[in-house]
Amino acid sequence: MKIISLASRNIKEVYRDPVSMLLGLAMPIALLILFSSIHKKVQLDMFSPQTLTPGIIIFCYAFMIMFSAMLLAKDKQSALLTRLFTTPLKPSDFILAYILPFIPLALFQTGICLIIGAILGATYQNLILACIIFFFTAMICICLGMILGSFFTVNQVAGVGSLLITAIGLFCGAWTPLKMMGGVFKTIGYALPFAHAVDASKGLLTGSSFSDILGNFYFILIYALVLFVLAIFSFRWRMRRR
């Protein structure tokens, strides 16, 4: 009940800014349509909706880092959070209440991308298993946002968030397979969870079994859990610094 109350208020705050939300949703759709039209002319597999859809879904979660970090950073600036710190809410309650509003957004974003991808010609297998991968990847991004929001101000979040989005775009392998890039790019890319998420979801949607992507799944799961715990600790640190 406590978490739901704060989460409902946060949902209102998030959806009060429809421009950002529309941008977050319109961007993947625009990218899918753009690359599909290129694919029709050039017939490159990396631009086909089948290959591109999972990567675009993962890349677009990166925008949620910015949205979630902004929400927390803005509340941190206002005295509302000070008041909430004097209520019996624990750091884990706060983090859950800030994470919850972004889950429906992630689901909606994923659903829209999958539908547009299907309209453009993609076919899906193991959809539910792929959605599990998408869910944990979205959690990674939201928790990253919580960590940024705990440490940085609104202005700093804008800068650091943009850097992270660019880095995720570069290292997730959505646009150019990391195996093609090789070297340091490949090493860094596979040290992060996003390339694993792209590989796993792409594999599942094209018919690989769950056991084929188990290594990638554990990698993503561990990242999600560690970042969730880190988000709670960074929020606790923020509460004490107040």
Q: Note the residues at the interface with other proteins (CB under 8 A).
A: 1-2, 4-6, 8-9, 12-13, 16, 78-80, 82-90, 240, 242
Which residue lies nearer to other proteins by CB, 5 or 162? 5
60: left (phi over 0), alpha (psi -120 to 50) or beta: alpha
* Residue (6 or 130) nearer to other proteins, CB: 6
| Shortest CB 77 distance to other proteins, Å | 10
CB of 41 to other proteins, least distance (A): 47
Residues 85-100: b if buried by 16+ CB within 10 A, e if exposed:
eeeebebebbbbbbbb
> 8 vs 123, which CB is nearer to other proteins?
8
What token pair was written down for 181?
A: 């890039």
Q: 72 to each of 28, 101, 103, 182, 207, how far by Cα in Å?
A: 24, 12, 16, 37, 39
Which amino acid, 37?
A: S
Minimum Å gap between C-beta 93 and other proteins is 9
Q: Which is nearer to other proteins, 16 or 41 (CB)?
A: 16
Least distance (Å) from other proteins to the CB of residue 16?
6
Q: How far apart are CA 67 and CA 145, in angstroms?
A: 7
